[in-house]
Amino acid sequence: MYCTYHRLHLTTTSSLRSLNFNFHRHHHHPIPTRVAVCSGRQFSMDCIGSENMVVGDILSLQSKIAAIRAAGPSKLQVIADFDATLTKYNINGQRGQTSHALLQQGNPEYDLKRQKLYDNYHPLEICPAIPVEEKTKLMEEWWEKTHALLVEGGLTFNDIRKSVANARMAFRDGVIELFQILEKKNVPLLIFSAGLADIIEEVLRQKIQRPFKNIEIVSNRMVFDNQGNLSSFKGKTIHVLNKNEHALDMVAPLHDEMGVVDEPVIDYVAMKRRTNVLLLGDHIGDLGMSDGLSYETRISVGFLNDKINESLESYSKAFDVVLLNDAPMSGVVDLLYQLIKDGID
């Protein structure tokens, strides 16, 4: 598939007026696999590898960067999908596991039952012929059946720990730096997932091994009894078709230990004041994660990990920036330095 796009070059300076935007049109074909990443605070096609970043509308992106810079970090929030966005799509030549797929509940019978549900419903999930309303009901049905099997099969919190320890999952290079910058600048990060919040938290604990006070999770949350056995799920079900900010009643800070039922009250008013959004996702549907926000400016970054030739045109129209070939998070980090004005002190 052929696609016309712009090459972008941004030079980091302390003055917005002195930003230089140099670009030219390029007919894209074919897609190479090389990603050359440099260090520093440049968001640059030359730096990241000109064949691995696509910008569909350079003038729009330029305008958005200027607006977010002018408003400052106090008006910014970051919304990110988890699987194949914060985490790598491929690990050592194999497809990385998702936060749902990695779970083994220590009961082969129930693991098989959940796999059969996947085999039945996943083709329906990706079928373009099914109307959204009908598909939404099917997804609710799938998630509720899966959650019921986890309770019935006797899932324990220790099963989660073991599953994560044995999982084929890793964060993209640069994710920790992204978290550190956001924390230092007091910019909240909302992680949206149709998976399980408790698993995401355990992945963060085991892979990063330090808490971040600015990270909140919007996902399905488990409730465990005093013995660490799963007893129920809290709140409404979040699935792939309702994963947006209408689910903010499910948001919660990172837990230090296994599921807590009573969480601190989230300051929704303060969140709503942050009217600029940096959104990260790997599916076009992830753009809906900001649907519940009355945002002023949104910059969207899409990770196109697979089927690049088939999907590049649609991704480049949907996202402001597209990173190709399971790219590292470095491009997002470099963009973030532009958005927070003077960078990190």
Sequence-distant (6+) residues with CB within 8 A of 108 are none
Q: How confident is the model at residue 170 (pLDDT cuts 50, 70, 90)?
A: very high
Could you tell me the domains of the chain? 3-82+274-339 (3.40.50.1000), 94-165 (1.10.150.340)
Per-residue pLDDT tens digits for 100-124: 889 988 889 999 999 999 899 989 9
What is the mean predicted confidence (pLDDT) over 276-281? 97
pLDDT of residue 345: 46
Given a contact cutoff of 8 angstroms between Cβ atoms, the answer to whether 79 and 302 are in contact is no
For residue 318, CA distances in Å to 26, 195, 279 come to 19, 24, 12
User: Quick check: is 81 catalytic?
Assistant: yes
The whole-angstrom separation of Cα 39 and Cα 47 is: 8
Dihedral pair phi/psi, residue 216, rounded to 5°: -120, 150
pLDDT of residue 52: 85
Residue that is written with structure tokens 């640059």 in the block = 44
Helices (H), 185-295: 197-207, 268-273
What is the mean predicted confidence (pLDDT) over 13-29? 34
User: Quick check: is 249 catalytic?
Assistant: no
Higher pLDDT, 113 or 12: 113
Is residue 5 over pLDDT 70?
no
- What is the number of other CB atoms lying within 10 angstroms of the CB of residue 38? 12
pLDDT of residue 49: 41
Per-residue pLDDT tens digits for 59-91: 999 999 999 999 999 999 999 999 999 999 999
The whole-angstrom separation of Cα 156 and Cα 67 is: 47
Task: Give the whole-number percent of the chain exceeding pLDDT 70.
Answer: 77
Q: How confident is the model at residue 342 (pLDDT cuts 50, 70, 90)?
A: low
Is residue 299 over pLDDT 50?
yes
Judged on CB neighbours under 10 Å (0-12, 13-18, 19+), 300 is buried
Per-residue pLDDT tens digits for 123-135: 998 787 888 899 9
- Residue 221's nearest CA partner among 206, 202, 208, 245 is 202
Per-residue pLDDT tens digits for 34-53: 333 333 444 544 443 446 89
Structure-block tokens of residue 303: 């990770």
Per-residue pLDDT tens digits for 145-167: 999 999 999 999 999 999 999 99
Most confident of 9-18, 30-39, 191-200: 191-200
The whole-angstrom separation of Cα 228 and Cα 296 is: 43
Write down the catalytic residue from 83, 159, 286, 320.
83
Write down the catalytic residue from 81, 198, 286, 320.
81
